[in-house]
Amino acid sequence: MSRVPNPVKLLILWVGLALSWAGLIDRHRVRRITDLAWPRVVTGIARMSKNAVDVAMVGVAVGSGAIAGVGFAGAYWGLAFAVGGGVAGGTIALVSQSFGADAHGELGRAVRSSALLVVLLTLPLTATFWLFSTELIALISNDPEAIELGGQYLRIASLGVPFAALNLIGSRTLVGSDDAYTAMLARASGAVANIGINAVLIFGLELGVVGAAIGTVLSNVVVAGMFAVGLVAGRFPGMGEFPVTVSPTGAYADVGTLRQLVSIGLPVMGRNLVWTVAEFPLLLIVDLFGQNTVAAYVVARRIWGIMNTPGWGFGLASSSLVGQELGEDHEGIAEAYGHEIVRFAVAVYVVSAALIFLFAEPIVLAFVDDPASSTVPIAVSLVYAACVATILQGVSKGAAGPLDASGDTRWPFYSQALGMFGFSIPLAYLGAVTPLGLWGLYLAFVAETAVPAVINYYRFSTGKWKVISRSYGPRGAPTDD
């Protein structure tokens, strides 16, 4: 199947070639990194745009109370990605090393065990969100309108939690097998379909936040089905051949594989949960500023999500390429990939942040029904702060990739926890209760990325992750070629 040139790919490639011309990246690696990174960036843009469109649609159709309610519900929905992403962190580490070593039996066991584990972990979340949706929103806010609308959204969206987590397993399996393009087709198609479904349900049938939640569930079910069929059959109509096939009849509860998934995945899950858990006190703090600031913060976080998508691509490209080189016992090449991906990611973030900075106000205006609303200037100022903070994500995500690939996942967890609970939340609180005001929120954005950037890069620079990697996957004696 031919691959249509994509502007995101071209932008990333041009930045990489410029770095290659400057002698900062090997030209051959520019293309390998780009080929794995750009589909994940497009997937992230599609998914984050879908989330942003959810907020924009309910904001236009219902008002700022709906924006706040969906934002509060999104904090709980994020638990699906925290849990699923944790297990998927183990998946990509085991799959990439098995793929590099051509050990397809171990690869299949990793995928099946990951699917079983993620379903067992997410079903209790679905039950809790369904039964206590309104009560959970009320823990965050005292705004009656936001509580009612957020509860409606969360109850319906809870049905999609296991499918959203399974989609992460499917995506990481393909990326770990050197094919981010097919993963992009599946997940981006689901995001685009979600936007279309939402438009019909929110505006056509006037279902408001309930329509947005139904669209979220349906799109995740469809994408999970695409991954399941493709991995079992080896292909899916319209997407071509899959790089690997996984038999559905093999062992699922392989004790050794499950143990490795838990060992690698728990710190990744903890890292993901750091933001998800931290979002609750952050929203409580932002709620002290009033409904307009809450709406502005939710809008800014949605835009921030889109801005952070390069980190998704470069982080997973780093995990996959470093993991494959480790699987082939090429530790020197693995380290070279790690250093070059950090440089590459930072450069791309600088370009993307500059573009968002220039067009911050018209982007924010797409989320509100009243251009004169006081939400607009607050959201624009928060986006400016996010543009500064997001550049440091290139260092944080790029350096975390080799650590994830090697199984050295604890340090990124520690760094994220310290950044959020040690710096970001205290700064936001100071803004709410002192004359610091909104500057507390601006500084919270920067602290959220600066602390992990410093710690992750330090750990990567020590090289200890290479030693840790030797205890995972089908490995032989390491070499430095």
| pLDDT score of 215 more than 80 | yes
Q: Look-up: residue for tokens 């019909």? A: 200
Q: Is the pLDDT of residue 61 over 70?
A: no
**Residue 474 contacts residue 97 (beta carbons within 8 Å):** yes
Residue 51 — pLDDT band, cuts 50, 70, 90? Answer: low
Neighbours of 27 (CB within 10 A): 11
For the chain, the domains span: 7-469
What pLDDT is attached to residue 439? 92
Instruction: Please check the confidence at residue 259 and state whether its pLDDT lies above 90.
Output: no
Q: What are phi and psi of 142, to 5 degrees?
A: -105, 5
Cβ pair 239, 185 in contact under 8 A: yes
Check: CB of residue 210 under 8 Å from CB of residue 60.
no
- Per-residue pLDDT for 469 more than 70? no
Contact 264, 407 (CB under 8 A): yes
Distance CA 54, CA 51 (A): 5
Q: State the chain's mean pLDDT as an integer.
A: 79
Q: Which residues pair with 235 in a beta bridge?
A: 241
Structure confidence at residue 451 as a pLDDT band (50, 70, 90): very high
Q: What ranges make up the beta strands (E) of 58-147?
A: none
Q: What is the pLDDT of residue 55?
A: 67
Q: What are phi and psi of 240, to 5 degrees?
A: 80, -160
Position 427 scores a pLDDT of 93
Which amino acid is it at 351?
V
pLDDT score recorded for residue 478? 41
Give the distance, in angstroms, between the CA of residue 40 and the centroid of all CA atoms in the same chain: 10
- Res 171 pLDDT > 70: yes
Most confident of 112-116, 247-251, 401-405: 112-116
Residues 383-428 pLDDT 10s:
999 898 888 888 888 788 778 777 777 888 888 889 888 999 999 9
Q: Which whole-number Å values give the CA distances from 392 to 96, 269, 386, 430, 445, in the listed order?
A: 26, 21, 10, 23, 11
Q: Is the dihedral of CA 84, 469, 39, 239 positive or negative?
A: negative
Six-digit token pair at 249? 């009849």
Task: Give the model's confidence band at 479: pLDDT under 50 very low, under 70 low, under 90 confident, else very high.
Answer: very low
CA 38 to chain centre: 14
Query: In 3D, which of 377, 395, 209, 372 has the Cα closest to residue 315?
Result: 395
- 282-310: string of b/e by CB count within 10 Å (b at 16+)? bbbbbbebebbbbbbbbbbbbbbbbbbbb
pLDDT of 370 reads 67
Q: List pLDDT tens digits, range 285-318.
A: 887 887 778 878 888 887 887 788 787 778 777 7
pLDDT at 381 over 70: yes
Instruction: Say how many residues make up the chain.
Output: 481
Let me know if 23 is exposed, middle or buried by CB neighbors in 10 A (0-12, 13-18, 19+). exposed
The tokens of 188 are what? 């981006």
216 vs 325, more confident: 216
pLDDT at 59 over 70: no
pLDDT at 49: 64
**pLDDT over 50 at 475, yes or no:** no
Q: What ranges in 288-330 are assigned the alpha helix state H?
A: 291-307, 309-327
Whether the predicted pLDDT of 174 surpasses 80: yes
What was the pLDDT predicted at 64?
A: 63
Checking if the pLDDT of 477 tops 50, the result is no
The terminus-to-terminus CA distance of the chain in angstroms comes to 34
Q: Is the pLDDT of residue 1 over 50?
A: no
The pLDDT value recorded for residue 84 is: 79
Amino acid 390: pLDDT: 87
Q: List pLDDT tens digits, range 203-213.
A: 777 777 778 88
Give me the residue label for tokens 């770095």.
19
Phi-psi region of 305 (alpha: psi -120 to 50; beta: other; left: phi over 0): alpha
Percent of the chain with pLDDT over 70: 88
Average pLDDT over residues 150-159: 86
pLDDT of residue 321: 77
State residue 423's pLDDT score. Answer: 92
Residue 39 token pair = 């589909």
What does DSSP say about strands 240-241 and 235-236: parallel, antiparallel, or unpaired? antiparallel
CB under 8 Å to 207, separation ≥6 — which residues? Answer: 201, 214
